Each structure stands twice: as structure tokens, then as C-alpha cells.
Amino acid sequence: GQQLNQSPQSMFIQEGEDVSMNCTSSSIFNTWLWYKQEPGEGPVLLIALYKAGELTSNGRLTAQFGITRKDSFLNISASIPSDVGIYFCAGQYIQGAQKLVFGQGTRLTINP
Amino acid sequence: GAGVSQTPSNKVTEKGKYVELRCDPISGHTALYWYRQSLGQGPEFLIYFQGTGAADDSGLPNDRFFAVRPEGSVSTLKIQRTERGDSAVYLCASSPSQGTYGELFFGEGSRLTVL
């Protein structure tokens, strides 16, 4: 089935550093979303993108819907310890369908 | 509570047994989803309900898997003749309407281990 390629798979950074991760697909997506998951919890929505080229911020998080509709990135500025977790991109690629395809995740570890 | 509630949080069973996993969505949410998350992977779509009906069950891996939502609220995912490969975290999510594409509210999941 359709897959999203998410990179990097893991990141080890110092507190205060900026973070960038991205997601690519071989197919055009209508919607891109970024979720964060912490141990023992379900994913929590961070940012949703609905239009090609759209750039959206949520606090220290910024995400963009690529103009080709086949990619998206998420940036986190000035990382803090509570940013630790696994970040998933997800996309909806069939018009009118409700199901999402998720990437494999980027595990973020922060050294204080 | 106000969030999506899933029970049990952990289930250990033997190969060949029958299992039911329950999801109680956020009150008023008409859409309900089941996803499966294997270790180290992202969630994988199983089935989507809009109200009482399964609008899309294309993600169910085979006929051992079945889900119901008889009154348009609580849903049960049923797995027959469990296999070791069914071991995963089963996530339930809900959303308020069809229009909010992808904006899902997930529960904490039910971790299924098949021995």
C-alpha cells in the first residue's frame, strides 16, 4: 500500500537546538498532518495542512505542505525537554477518503 | 473523562483465542477509527465508522478481524483465532465530523500480546 518516507528515523540533539524533519511520498496527498506520540499514549495532533504551499505555525512548531503535494516538513525551534517523543507525519491521499497513511516516525531525544 | 477511552489497556492471550477490544469515543464525535501500531512503526488504518456503519473497512487484514458500532458510539474490535502476528497496539480515534480531515483524537491504545 501507499507509504510515506519519513526522515530522519531518529535525532539526538542538545536542548535549545532547532530540529527539522521531513516526509515524502510517491503520490500526491490532499492533506498533510503532523502528530506527536509519547510512551504509552496515543498520537496527538500538532499541525494540519490542507493546501499546497501552506505554511502553518503552532508555537515553536512550523510545518509546510510542499508545493508538489508530495512532501511536508516540520521544524521545531529552540527545543526543550518536553519535545521528546516520536513525531509522525500522516497524509490523506484519496479524495473523500477518511483514512490516513502514517510515516514510520522520527524519534527525538534531547540532551539537557 | 473527556478523551477517547480504550479497554483493556493490556491484553495477553494465547494463539487461537478470541479477543474483544473496546473503544468509547469522545461524546458527540460521529466518526470513529481503528488503527494498529506495530513496534517501531506508525499507525496503520484498519476501519472507519461514520455513525453506526462501517464506511471503510479496507484496512482490515483478513476475515478474522471484525468491528461493530451498533449505537453509533462505543465500538468493539473483534479478533478471532488470534495469531502471534496480531500482537500490536490497537489504537482507537474519533473526530467530530467528516469535514475535519485527519484531525483525529486518539485513545491510549490497547496493547495485545498473543503468546
Q: What is the pLDDT of residues B57-107, one digit of tens each?
A: 999 999 999 999 999 999 999 999 999 999 999 999 999 875 566 789 999
DSSP string, B48-105: EEETTEEEE-TT--STTEEEE-TTSS-EEEEE-S--GGG-EEEEEEEES-TTSTT--E
CB contact under 8 A, B41 and A101: no
- Report pLDDT for B68: 97
C-beta atoms surrounding B55 within 10 Å: 15
Mean pLDDT of chain A: 93
Cα distances from A79 to residues A48, A63, A74, A85, B101, in angstroms, run: 20, 15, 13, 12, 28
| Cβ contacts of A43 on chain B, cutoff 8 Å | 43, 91, 104, 106
Chain center to CA of B47: 8
Using only the alpha carbons of chain B, give its radius of gyration. 13
Q: What is the pLDDT of residues A24-45, one digit of tens each?
A: 999 899 899 999 999 999 999 9
CB contact under 8 A, A99 and B104: no
Indicate the SS3 state at residue B113. strand
Q: What is the pLDDT of residues B1-35, one digit of tens each?
A: 589 999 999 999 999 999 999 999 999 899 999 99
| Residues 76-95 of chain A whose Cβ lies under 8 A from any Cβ of chain B | 88, 90-92
CB contact under 8 A, A98 and B109: no
Residue with cell 507525519: A89
Which residue of B lies nearest to A94 if distances are taken between CA atoms?
A: B101
Q: B27: Cβ–Cβ under 8 A, 6 or more apart, which residues?
A: none
| Cβ contacts of B21 on chain A, cutoff 8 Å | none
pLDDT at A112 over 90: no
CA distance A43 to A89: 11
Specify the higher pLDDT residue, A3 or A90: A90
Cell numbers of A60, please? 515553536
pLDDT at B41 over 80: yes
Cβ proximity of A36 and A86 under 8 Å:
yes
The CA distance from B106 to the nearest CA of chain A, in Å, is 5
CA distance B13 to B21: 12
- Report pLDDT for A75: 98
- Report pLDDT for A72: 97
The CA distance from B65 to the nearest CA of chain A, in Å, is 17
| Cβ contacts of A3 on chain B, cutoff 8 Å | none
Q: What is the pLDDT of residues A57-83, one digit of tens each?
A: 999 999 999 999 999 999 999 999 999
- Report pLDDT for A1: 56
- Report pLDDT for B103: 86
- Report pLDDT for B98: 59
Cell numbers of A109, please? 531525544
- State what percent of residues in chain B have pLDDT above 90: 84
